[in-house]
Structure 1
Amino acid sequence: MALVPNPSQPGLRIYKPSFSYWYPSLEQDSGSRSHLLHKIGAFYRKAWKRLPRRRPQGLCVGLLDPVSNIVINSLISSRKRKRDAGFSCCEGVQDDLERRSLDALVAFLTRLFPNLPESLAVHYLRLADADALVAARVIVSHHGMKRFDESEPAVLDMAPIKCAALAVGYPNPDHLVHAWRNISGHIDDTLHLLAILHKPSSDRSHGTSKFARMLKTPPSRRSCIISKLTRMLNNGPSPGCEKDIWWAWRLAASRRSRPCSDPYLHTGLLSRTLQDAIHGFYLQALARLPAGSSFYRSLLKAGYCYGPLDPISNIIVNTIWYDTAFPPTMKLELDLDVIGTRGLHRVENRSLYGLASFLCTRYHRFDFHQAMQCLVQADANLVLADPNLVLADPNIDPSSLYVLMRCPPSAAPTSNAVEAQDPPDTSLEKAFLAAATAAFHPNPEAHVKLLTSCKLKSAFRLLHRRPDMLSSQDVKRLAMLLCPESAHDCERAFLPLPLTVYPRAKLAGMYTRISKKVNALLNAYAQMPNGDPKFERYTICGVNDRVCGPTSFPPKYGHTHVNFVATPKSTCGGSAALFFAEISNNDQDDESFCCHVALPPPCAAQIRCLYCEYIGTRIVHPAGIDFHGRESEFEKMACGKDPRNGDYVPPWRAPYYSNSQIINNRRGLAENVYGREKEDSLYDDLDEHKSVDLGPMSIRQIFLEM
């Protein structure tokens, strides 16, 4: 992230995207791999001491510490594995087994975390002494995922273990997963047996005291324990014994006695965590705002999440104020209930740079990375990040803010990121001007006046008396409070905006097709006792029409993933809910479905989808339902196969889908704050404020015009 030069107003510190990231060099990566291979070799020697009369031949990847993983994996039934030369017990392949273990550990981490290149996975494994789950905890800590352990149970499951086995050519990955499921169901017994195996054998106790010999394990008992472990691993699990594997996450915490420091800053990955949190705020704001192209246009142009209120309230207030102060004069002939996906991501990214520029201008001791850390700690809430920022009422204690906002206790940050006694370096007006400029607000000066006015006090109270969807009367009251000079003209007569212009007509046709299918799926999802649909569609807020493909030229894709907000009909009661839909692009309704999805808490993990990550869309996926892009595609990619059809991809040909390709493609959308999107054509002609193609030099031009 780069600081924009600003000679005219040096007090403003405005940041823009930068595509420079730190990744280990070839020399650093080679040195880390050599160090890890040496460490893994020591693990195998320790495991050998625990397994009498057999050489350990299992991988060191699993849910326990590396030595225990080797022991467990070596006891898994090897009738099929003996046919594979790469996993035989010959000394000549020991080095190859250690290299495969390292590759499996890397595959485990890259499957668990999006945006993690293989070189960074190696880097974190070195920091964690080749312990995969300890490395995962370090990644979570350094990247701001402070609520990772509050994520859906499916976030931490057996998929990383299976992908790790597939990546190194393990002959029977399903058998390996089955064994670890058995371990998960009998974890207390397993830990007890492994602790006994950890004791030295009594047949090597010559010359020691009688007391020391009593603490050692006799060979006969050791063999009995190994037999028990072998039966536990290879037999079927007891009914009802299987559970989620978050126990492994908690055990990993006890294996690290000192904090793991990293000399390098991974600011880009930290900002990805914050972007996912901000996306959740926009989804909640869309569930409360009225539907319609007028408000979509205002949200995409000026509905930023920075301000003196909580992020969701800031989005609502900024959107309604802009729609009132700078109203549209035209309206689409077909009022679409779809907000542009890429345009929504762009305003989220602009909000992030607005938040960071606010803090760096307010406190000059902050750089961009420190601002990201501060915002992650405060859940992108400037009131919690900056205790010197007065909320709507000066008598409100910032520590009680989340109680006032009716947020769950688990979502409340633990403390302010800025000490209350730290004096700010600039005024509130300058800090908000920096935020508005970095976010490309259409009218930064007018926006600063709004954010520093006393109007927000009453708006804040009105919003939190209405925690659900705002009625038309609520919107009118807010408009009158925020912009009384323009609110009298709320009932406007719009001129029709034709859909015949390309690409407006193409977009309208695609969205209309998706809307019809979403409606059909939602009507069949839940019915009231009289047979009428229980929900009615409200806003489509995420679309990826490039799932399962391309399979031909011109490219064709098999499915579309959609997020939409739906509201219960008035007779049912309740608040708006977020849904996920997978739609067949081939009009095969039997392959389409929709389901309710829970919005992850801020700074938690997301359910992964290969196709949505590749295209860069922040779509919330279901945890308990399979969909295209969830499991089998990642497994094919781990094997070096094409996820679309399972064909093998030769090493000399770059695969269409790979971990590096996904990261590179996603980065472009994650850093997009400048140019126009196709969806902008739906709103360009609604008023005189057209979307402008803002390039890297536009911020400097803004300064020159001040």
Structure 2
Amino acid sequence: MSSGGSVPSSAPKDRSLVLSELLGYIHGYYEAALDRLPVEEMPLLIPRLLEAGVCFGRLDPVSNIVANTVCSLEPSPEANDGAQSDESESSKKGRKRKATAEEEEVRTRGARMRKRRTIAQRSLEGLITFLVCYFRYLPVSEALQYLALAKADLLAAVHLIERIRGIGGRLCPISSPTMEIALRCAAIAASQSDIFAARSLSLASRVDQIWRILTIDGRLSTEAISRLQKLLEEPVEQLAGSTKPVQAIEQLPRDALRRRHHRGLLRAGHCFGPADDPVTNIILNTIWFDTAFPPHVQFEVDMISTKSLMRVECRSLNGLLAFLNKLFPALSEHDAMIQGTEYDLHIICGVNSEVPEDGKHSYILNEEGYPYSHINFLARPKGSHLDDMAPNLFFLECSNDEKGLDKLPSLCTVLVSPSDSGRCFHCEFQGIKIVHPDFGTYRGRETDFEEMACGKRKLDNEELIGFGLMRMEFMGMVSDDSVYSDLATDSDFTECMNYLARREEKEERFLSGECQ
């Protein structure tokens, strides 16, 4: 195995036997899930399970099946507006007829799905796709072996691979973009909806609460299903460290924002305050202002002024600068706005100068040149001494266009460790050992892997590995050898260079018409 480590098995099993073994494990998980679900009281659970109850996610396989099945249910009526007691009898009958029609439609759709691929088969394809998209240079055959050792438990398989590869301790961080991309690819392979990855992250943020519900007893009641459904319907908090109030707008309820909080947001929605993050401070300041200074007249709006948003952003920035100036009187406004440190270059230790736009990985598509480079380099903070601090490893994506040398790079970030798990389709295709960050946006990390998962890429996972290995394992002469060549000892290299020079000269003479 090229990435260090090997599958702990003396003799790999036949692929068909491994697939049969894995499907056996997965079928057992579905039997256990059906035993836990109240299918007699809620028959709709069965078609939902057959359509959306895949066994991969952030929990154990059985709990993933249960949670994914419940996630696919329509919102419970009592969770909508609490006004069921006032509902008329005719409305109840109409809602019942609609639910019956929806149930029949789901059953029909589920039957069509079963004729093509069973939910167990789609789950297995999702498991395999997740692993080959999450880990670099992992062939499908090895992914199957790991899954067999882990009994088709995704988290156990991930933990096993990381231990063998010597990168343990990471274990699928919830907010990892690499994990989100792998989940999206797995969802594509398993014919799941586009919201599956976001829903899985929502589940991950509530693992403890969900786990308590799922483990109350051996069999879930309809009340437990209702509690679980309400929990899964709650919005996920995605608080970002931004001074822009747009992030806070996403968190405020629509009706409350349009009827009342638009005023507090534009008048006092500053990003500084008692909370630890800017977005929470914006929300707190907005609600505080509306409570402390209620408007004389309330009115509803459909649009918020862009200029007013810009004004509150500027005021937030001015407030932050004033705060820093009070703490550090000697700090100028310019220095306060300059970002964490300046570095001195130690050495550049990795370059891939042939990074195309996403989706263009052949020479024909890039015959006019490659627009980007991915670079690893080591650097120390300015002013540090050699004995004080080891250099930091950086990743840089920059333009190859000489006209854009004065522009900021697309991404430049310090890497947590040399084993950061970010993936890049282009660097892996070139077989170049560039360490990519697990966070941040750069070319080669999303589109190509997702298109490969759904069969739109001409290259599959095995061919991607093959191209990378072919370039890595080339042991002949390279152009960089000319820098270190010694005419007295490197006679083979000198002879090769002379041959290439003569051939190039002959081609030029032929093209110029000097020789026929």
- 2:182 is matched with 160
Does residue 577 of structure 1 match 2:379?
no
Does residue 192 of structure 1 match 2:209?
no
User: Quick one: which amino acid aligns to residue 141 of structure 1?
Assistant: R
- What SS class does the counterpart of residue 682 from structure 1 fall into? helix
Contact 1:162 1:177 in 2 (8 A): yes
**How has the CA–CA distance of structure 1 residues 689 and 227 changed in structure 2, closer, same or farther, with 3 Å as cutoff?**
farther
The number of residue pairs the alignment matches comes to: 350
**How has the CA–CA distance of structure 1 residues 84 and 679 changed in structure 2, closer, same or farther, with 3 Å as cutoff?**
farther
CA distance in 1, matches of 2:34, 2:215: 15
CA distance in 2, matches of 1:555, 1:25: 48
Does residue 230 of structure 1 match 2:249?
no
- What SS class does the counterpart of residue 440 from structure 2 fall into? coil
User: Quick one: which amino acid aligns to residue 668 of structure 1?
Assistant: M
- 1:535 is matched with 343
User: Quick one: which amino acid aligns to residue 184 of structure 1?
Assistant: A
User: Quick one: which amino acid aligns to residue 659 of structure 1?
Assistant: N
- 1:660 is matched with 462
- What SS class does the counterpart of residue 179 from structure 2 fall into? coil
CA distance in 2, matches of 1:88, 1:115: 35
CA distance in 1, matches of 2:415, 2:184: 26
1:156 deviation in Å? 6.5
CA distance in 2, matches of 1:555, 1:21: 42
**Residue among 139, 153, 163 paired with 1:131:** 153
**How has the CA–CA distance of structure 1 residues 33 and 82 changed in structure 2, closer, same or farther, with 3 Å as cutoff?**
farther
Alignment RMSD (CA, Å): 4.1
Q: How does 1:33-182 map to 2 (within 5 A)?
A: 33-52=19-38, 53=43, 54-55=45-46, 56-57=49-50, 58-77=53-72, 88=110, 92-93=114-115, 96-146=118-168, 148=170, 154=176, 157-170=179-192, 172-173=193-194, 175-182=195-202
Q: How does 1:274-673 map to 2 (within 5 A)?
A: 534-548=342-356, 549=360, 550=362, 552=365, 554=367, 556-570=369-383, 575=389, 576-586=391-401, 587=403, 592-598=409-415, 600=417, 604=419, 606-642=421-457, 655=458, 657-672=459-474
1:679 deviation in Å? 1.4
Contact 1:155 1:606 in 2 (8 A): no
- What SS class does the counterpart of residue 641 from structure 1 fall into? coil
- What SS class does the counterpart of residue 130 from structure 2 fall into? helix
CA distance in 1, matches of 2:185, 2:159: 19
1:538 deviation in Å? 4.5
**How has the CA–CA distance of structure 1 residues 107 and 149 changed in structure 2, closer, same or farther, with 3 Å as cutoff?**
closer
Worse-superposed segment, 82-91 or 620-629: 82-91
1:623 deviation in Å? 3.1
1:581 deviation in Å? 1.6
TM-score (normalised: structure 1): 0.44
Identity of aligned residues (%): 31
Contact 1:182 1:232 in 2 (8 A): no
CA distance in 2, matches of 1:663, 1:228: 45
**How has the CA–CA distance of structure 1 residues 126 and 678 changed in structure 2, closer, same or farther, with 3 Å as cutoff?**
same
Q: Any idea what the Cα deviations from partners look like across 1:218-277, whole Å, max 9, x if unmatched? A: xxxx11211121222233124669xxxxxxxxxxxxxxxxxxxxxxxxxxxxxxxxxxxx
Contact 2:60 2:153 in 1 (8 A): yes
1:535 deviation in Å? 3.3
Does residue 30 of structure 1 match 2:16?
yes
Contact 1:580 1:597 in 2 (8 A): yes
1:557 deviation in Å? 2.6
Q: Any idea what the Cα deviations from partners look like across 1:426-465, whole Å, max 9, x if unmatched? A: xxxxxxxxxxxxxxxxxxxxxxxxxxxxxxxxxxxxxxxx
CA distance in 2, matches of 1:59, 1:84: 16
User: Quick one: which amino acid aligns to residue 618 of structure 1?
Assistant: K
User: Quick one: which amino acid aligns to residue 597 of structure 1?
Assistant: V
CA distance in 1, matches of 2:29, 2:204: 22
CA distance in 1, matches of 2:63, 2:7: 36
**How has the CA–CA distance of structure 1 residues 43 and 563 changed in structure 2, closer, same or farther, with 3 Å as cutoff?**
same
1:140 deviation in Å? 2.7
- What SS class does the counterpart of residue 432 from structure 2 fall into? coil
- 1:293 is matched with none
TM-score (normalised: structure 2): 0.58
1:164 deviation in Å? 0.3
Contact 2:347 2:377 in 1 (8 A): yes
User: Quick one: which amino acid aligns to residue 625 of structure 1?
Assistant: G
- What SS class does the counterpart of residue 448 from structure 2 fall into? helix
CA distance in 2, matches of 1:107, 1:68: 20
1:66 deviation in Å? 1.1
- What SS class does the counterpart of residue 118 from structure 2 fall into? helix
CA distance in 2, matches of 1:639, 1:91: 17
CA distance in 1, matches of 2:113, 2:439: 44
1:105 deviation in Å? 0.7
- 2:273 is matched with none
In structure 2, stretches of 5+ residues that fail to align are 75-101, 241-333, 494-516
CA distance in 1, matches of 2:481, 2:104: 60
Q: Any idea what the Cα deviations from partners look like across 1:580-625, whole Å, max 9, x if unmatched? A: 2212234556683342322526xx4532111111111111223332
1:571 deviation in Å? 8.6
CA distance in 1, matches of 2:174, 2:349: 22
Worse-superposed segment, 548-557 or 224-233: 548-557
- What SS class does the counterpart of residue 480 from structure 2 fall into? helix
User: Quick one: which amino acid aligns to residue 75 of structure 1?
Assistant: V
1:133 deviation in Å? 1.4
Contact 1:47 1:70 in 2 (8 A): yes
**Residue among 203, 210, 216 paired with 1:183:** 203
User: Quick one: which amino acid aligns to residue 432 of structure 2?
Assistant: T
Contact 1:539 1:566 in 2 (8 A): yes
1:106 deviation in Å? 0.4
**How has the CA–CA distance of structure 1 residues 545 and 229 changed in structure 2, closer, same or farther, with 3 Å as cutoff?**
same
Q: Any idea what the Cα deviations from partners look like across 1:83-135, whole Å, max 9, x if unmatched? A: 89996266944952221111001011111211111121112211221111112
1:147 deviation in Å? 5.3
User: Quick one: which amino acid aligns to residue 624 of structure 1?
Assistant: F
- 2:252 is matched with none
CA distance in 1, matches of 2:454, 2:439: 25
Contact 1:47 1:71 in 2 (8 A): yes
Contact 1:155 1:605 in 2 (8 A): no
CA distance in 2, matches of 1:640, 1:691: 48
**How has the CA–CA distance of structure 1 residues 236 and 594 changed in structure 2, closer, same or farther, with 3 Å as cutoff?**
closer
